[in-house]
Chains A and B, each alone.
Chain A
Amino acid sequence: MMRLKLVPADTKVPFVEYRHIAIGFSTLVVIAAIVVVILKGFNFGIDFKGGTVIEVETAEVADLTDLRTRLNKLDIGEVQLQRFGNDRDVLIRVGTSKTDVSADAGERVVKKVKAELGDSVTYRRIESVGPQVSGELIRAATLAVLVSVAAMFAYIWFRFEWQFGLGAVLSIVHDVMATILVFSLFQLEFNLTTIAALLTIVGYSMNDTVVVYDRMRENLRKYKKMDLGELIDLSLNETLSRTIMTSVTTLLALLSLFIFGGEVIRSFTFAMIFGILIGTYSSIYVAAPVLMAIGITREWGSGRLTRAKPNAGK
C-alpha cells in the first residue's frame, strides 16, 4: 500500500545551526510589528471602534454608486460600501458619528438606513456597537491576551522550569506580534473574532512548543553529557514528523473552513491559518533557540528530578 510520508524517517536537520538567521528574522518581525502598528494602526471593526454594519442583499446586481448616493444624503457620517461574497451582497459600514456621540446613536443610523432602503433589500445582518461598549471590549480583549500569556507562562513554569516558561512566552509573543503585523500591514479588519483567533493561536503554538519541550526534557535525562545544541537538534528532529503532521491536519480543517465556511468567518479562519503556520515555525525556531541562549540547568540530567528531593539519585 502506498504510504504518505511528509517527513523522511530519519531527519537530521541542523536547526540550531540556523538559529542566528531565525532569531534575526524573528526580531525583525517583532520590531516591524511595533513600527507598523504605530504607523498604520489597525483597521478596527465595529466591535472595537463602534459604529454600524448592515449587510443587505439586493434583488438585482447591486448598484453601489446608487446606494452610496442614497446613503450619503442621510447625513449619518462616513458611509463605506463593499461587496460581500457575491455581487448582490453589500456590506454597509457607518462609522461612529462625530456629532452624535450618545450611546444609542447606532440605533438612529439603523433606523435612517432602513427608512431609506425600505423593503428594496433583504437585511441579512445588522450590527451596531456604541462607543462605550467598544471601549470596554478593547480593554477586555487586551486583558484576555495578557491573561492567557501569563497563564501559559505559569503552566509551563509549573510543568518544566522557568527557562522553558520564558522560551514559551517569547514564542507566543512572537506569534501574536507576527499576526498583528499582518493585520496592520494589510489593514485587515480587526475585531472580536480576531482576538478569538489570536487566543486559539496562542493555545496551538503552546501545544507545539510543549511537545518539543517534553522531548527535550526526556532527552536531557537520557543523554546526560550531550551538548545542548546537539540535544535540541535531536529533540526537534525526533518530533519533526509529528509537528508537521499535526500542522497539516489542522490546516486541512481550517482550509476547508476558509473556502467553504462562508464570508462571515473568513477573516477569523484566515487569522488562524496564518497563526498555525507561524506557530509551527516559532516552536522550532523561537522556543528552542531561546533555551540555547539562556541555558538550562541540567538538573534532570544530573539525576535531581525535582527540587523537592535535592539528594535523590546520588
Chain B
Amino acid sequence: MLHFERWKIVMIVLLTLAGVLYTAPNFLSKDTLASIPTFLPHKQVNLGLDLRGGSYLLLQVETEGINKDRLQTQVNDIRRALRDEKVLYTGLGVKGEAVSVRITNPVDFAKAKKAIEGLANSVSGSLLSGSVGARDIAVATSGNLITVTNTDAAIQARSQSAIQQSMEIVRRRVDEMGTTEPVIQQQGTDRILVQVPGLDDPQRLIAILGQTAKMNFRLVDTSTTAQQALATHTIPAGSEVLYMTESPETPILIKRRVMVGGDSLTDAQPGFDSRNGEPVVNFHFDSTGGRIFGEVTRNNVGKPFAIVLDDKVISAPVIREAIVGGSGQISGNFTVQQANDLAILLRAGALPAPLKVLEQRTVGASLGADSIRSGVVASIIGSVAVLFFMVATYALFGVFANIALIINVFLIMGVLSLLQATLTLPGIAGIILTVGTAVDANVLIYERIREELKAGKTVIASLEAGYNHALAPIIDANVTHFISAAVLYELGSGPVRGFAVTLAIGVVTSVFTAVTVNRLIVATWVRRARPKTIVL
C-alpha cells in the first residue's frame, strides 16, 4: 500500500497536471487564449444549446413525394413508348403505388410489354445496398392489364439519394445564412438534425429550410385569362393556373413547359434596382441556360413570362427585348430580407423533397446565461457542502479525500475540453452528482479501514486491508453506474446525452482519483508522519 513505484507517481502527477492544464482554457477569455503559446491546450468546453442559447431542429425528408413524382414521370414515359410503338391502350394512370394500363388489342400485347420493359433502368447507387444490376421497375401482367411497380431497391436508392442531396442543400442554406458553427447530421434513415448555436429566432431558418425552392422560368399563356379559364373550367392543355405570391393572390395562367430551370442558375445575389431602388435579386445562368433564355426571350418579345418558385408566381414581367448574356433580375415587391432569403435559396439550390419540422427546441440566450449561472452556483454550493461534510466526518482523511475530489473535477473538465464533448445543464447536474457519488469510493475505503482498526490490526495493515478489500465493491458499483450512463447515452439526444457523457467520464475519473490518487496522498502522509495510531 505504501510503496509506489517511481514511474507510477510520475504518471499520477502528470495526469493530474494534464487535467488542470486542459481545464485552464475554460477560465480564460478568448483574447487571453489567443495570446498564450500554441503548445498549451486551447480547447474550451463545448457548451450545449441549452447553455449558450440556440436552435435545434429535427427535419423529416418527405420522400413519398419523390415516388409520386416518379410514378407520374413513368406514366408519361409509358405513354410515349406506347405511342412510338403505335399501340392502342386505355386507362393509363397511377393506381396506388403502381402504374397500370390496359392494352386494347391482344395482338399488340407482347409488343407493348416489351416496350414498357425497355423503360427499365438499373438502380443507381446500388453498390452500397448490395443490389448491383437491380432493375428499377417490375412489370407484371394479367389479362390485358400491364402493371408497373417500382422495386424496393429503386425506391430505397431514390430516397437515399434524396436524403443525401437534402443534407447538402440544407448545409448550404444554413451556411449561407451566416450562422456560426452549425451542426447538420443525418438521423435515422430519413431525418436531418440541424443545430445552430446562438440563433434565438429559428422562424427565419425554418422558413428558409421549409421551402423546396424549385424555381423555373416559364411563359405566360395569353390565349385566355386565368379568371376566364377558371370560370369556364376550360384550362388550355399544356397550361395551368398558378397564383401570385403577393396578396391579393391573383391567379395567372402559366404554360407548363419550363423555359429554363433553377438548376441552370450559377449565382444569385440580392441587390437594388438601379431605376427605382427596390430590392431585387440579380441572377446569372450557366452557358446552356443563358443561351436558351436568350433564344426564348428573343422569340417572345412583348409577351409576359413568369418566374415561378414552388408553384407560386413571384413576378410576371413583359419581355422588352431579348435577354442575352445569361444575366437577369427578379423583382417582386420584395423587402430587403425577402430578397436576401430568395438569393440564399437560389444559390443553395432546390431540395429534392419537402422538409417538415418534426421537433424544434430553442433556448434564448438569456435563459442559457441564467442556466449557466444557476448551474455554477449549485455546483459550488453542492461541492462545498460535500467537502465540508467529508472533513467533518473523517477529519484529516476527509481532507485527503477532498484533494482527490477536486482533482477529479479538474479531470472531468479536462476530458470534456479535450474530447470537445458538449456540456449541457443536465451535464452540469451530472458533474455535481459525480461529486456526490465519487466520495463513495473513499467512504468505502475509510469505513473498511475503521473496521480493520477496530479488529485490532496495526495502522499499516489496516490501511493495506482497507484499500485492498474495498476495491471489488468500488469497481462493481462504478460498473453499474457506467451501464446506466451508457444506456442513457444511447437513448438521449441533446441535454440528456450531455448528462450521460459527464456521468460516464465522472465514473472513470472518480475511480482513478478516489482510489489511486487518494492512496498516493495517504501513503505519502504515512511515510512522512509515521503515525502510531490513526483516528478515523
**Which A63-114 residues have C-beta < 8 A from chain B?**
102-104, 106-107, 110-111, 114
In the bound assembly, the distance between CA atoms of A291 and B503 in angstroms comes to 30
Q: Is B125 an interface residue (CB 8 A)?
A: no
Q: Is A190 an interface residue (CB 8 A)?
A: no
Q: Is B509 an interface residue (CB 8 A)?
A: no
Q: Is B9 an interface residue (CB 8 A)?
A: no
In the bound assembly, the distance between CA atoms of A249 and B405 in angstroms comes to 12
Q: Give every chain A residue within 8 A of B435 (Cβ-Cβ).
A: 253
Contact of A260 with B206 at beta-carbon distance under 8 Å, contacts A155-B480, A253-B435, A254-B436 already known: no
Task: Tell me the smallest distance from the CB of A216 to a CB of chain B, in Å.
Answer: 11
Task: Tell me the smallest distance from the CB of A40 to a CB of chain B, in Å.
Answer: 25
Q: Is B454 an interface residue (CB 8 A)?
A: yes
Chain B CB within 10 Å, residue with most, of A203, A245, A253: A253
Residue of A1, A106, A141, A204 touching B491 (CB-CB under 8 A): A141
In the bound assembly, the distance between CA atoms of A14 and B203 in angstroms comes to 64
Task: Tell me the smallest distance from the CB of B440 to a CB of chain A, in Å.
Answer: 4
Residue of B392, B425, B429, B437 touching A207 (CB-CB under 8 A): B437
Contact of A192 with B496 at beta-carbon distance under 8 Å, contacts A210-B476, A249-B439 already known: yes
Nearest residue in B to A246 (C-beta to C-beta)? B440
Contact in complex: B395, A3 (CB < 8 Å): yes
Contact in complex: A262, B375 (CB < 8 Å): yes
Q: Is B183 an interface residue (CB 8 A)?
A: no
Contact in complex: B359, A133 (CB < 8 Å): yes
Contact in complex: A256, B375 (CB < 8 Å): no
Q: Is A264 an interface residue (CB 8 A)?
A: yes
Q: Give every chain A residue within 8 A of B499 (Cβ-Cβ).
A: 193, 196
Q: Is B317 an interface residue (CB 8 A)?
A: no
Q: Is A26 an interface residue (CB 8 A)?
A: no
Q: Is B219 an interface residue (CB 8 A)?
A: no
Q: Is B360 an interface residue (CB 8 A)?
A: yes
Q: Is A206 an interface residue (CB 8 A)?
A: yes
Q: Give every chain A residue within 8 A of B70 (Cβ-Cβ).
A: none
Residue of B382, B426, B450 touching A193 (CB-CB under 8 A): B426
Q: Is A4 an interface residue (CB 8 A)?
A: yes
Q: Among the listed stretches B106-114, B275-283, B306-314, B362-370, which one makes contact with chain A, having 4 or more residues with CB under 8 Å of it?
A: B362-370
Task: Tell me the smallest distance from the CB of B390 to a CB of chain A, in Å.
Answer: 7
Task: Tell me the smallest distance from the CB of A204 to a CB of chain B, in Å.
Answer: 7
Q: Is A120 an interface residue (CB 8 A)?
A: no
In the bound assembly, the distance between CA atoms of A141 and B477 in angstroms comes to 23
Q: B419-450 toward A: CB 8 Å interface, digit per residue (1/0)?
A: 00000011011001101110110011001001
Contact in complex: A253, B433 (CB < 8 Å): yes
Contact in complex: B390, A249 (CB < 8 Å): yes
Q: B493-514 toward A: CB 8 Å interface, digit per residue (1/0)?
A: 0011001100100000000000
Q: Is A221 an interface residue (CB 8 A)?
A: no
Contact of A251 with B436 at beta-carbon distance under 8 Å, contacts A262-B371, A265-B429 already known: yes
Contact of A261 with B374 at beta-carbon distance under 8 Å, contacts A192-B496, A203-B485 already known: yes
Q: Give every chain B residue within 8 A of A245 (Cβ-Cβ).
A: 393, 443, 447
In the bound assembly, the distance between CA atoms of A248 and B437 in angstroms comes to 10
Contact of A262 with B374 at beta-carbon distance under 8 Å, contacts A207-B480, A207-B481 already known: yes
Q: Give every chain A residue within 8 A of B362 (Cβ-Cβ).
A: 123, 125-127
Residue of B358, B393, B492, B500 touching A104 (CB-CB under 8 A): B358
Q: Is B175 an interface residue (CB 8 A)?
A: no
Residue of A147, A246, A264 touching B425 (CB-CB under 8 A): A264
Contact in complex: B481, A253 (CB < 8 Å): no
Instruction: Identify 5 new A-B residue pairs, CB closer than 8 A, beyond the known A9-B450, A207-B477.
Output: A144-B491, A203-B484, A210-B473, A262-B378, A268-B426
20 contacts across the A-B interface (CB closer than 8 A): A4-B389, A102-B356, A124-B366, A125-B367, A126-B361, A129-B358, A133-B359, A144-B491, A193-B495, A196-B491, A196-B500, A206-B484, A207-B480, A214-B473, A253-B432, A254-B436, A261-B428, A262-B370, A262-B425, A265-B426
Interface residues of B (CB under 8 A from A): 50, 58, 60, 200-203, 206, 210, 356-364, 366-367, 370-371, 374-375, 377-379, 381-383, 385-386, 389-390, 392-393, 395, 425-426, 428-429, 432-433, 435-437, 439-440, 443-444, 447, 450-451, 454, 469, 472-473, 476-481, 483-485, 487-488, 490-492, 495-496, 499-500, 503
Interface residues of A (CB under 8 A from B): 1-6, 9, 55, 57, 102-104, 106-107, 110-111, 114, 122-130, 132-133, 140-141, 143-144, 147-148, 151-152, 155, 159, 192-193, 195-196, 199-200, 202-204, 206-208, 210-211, 214-215, 218, 238-239, 241-242, 245-246, 248-257, 259-262, 264-265, 268-269, 272
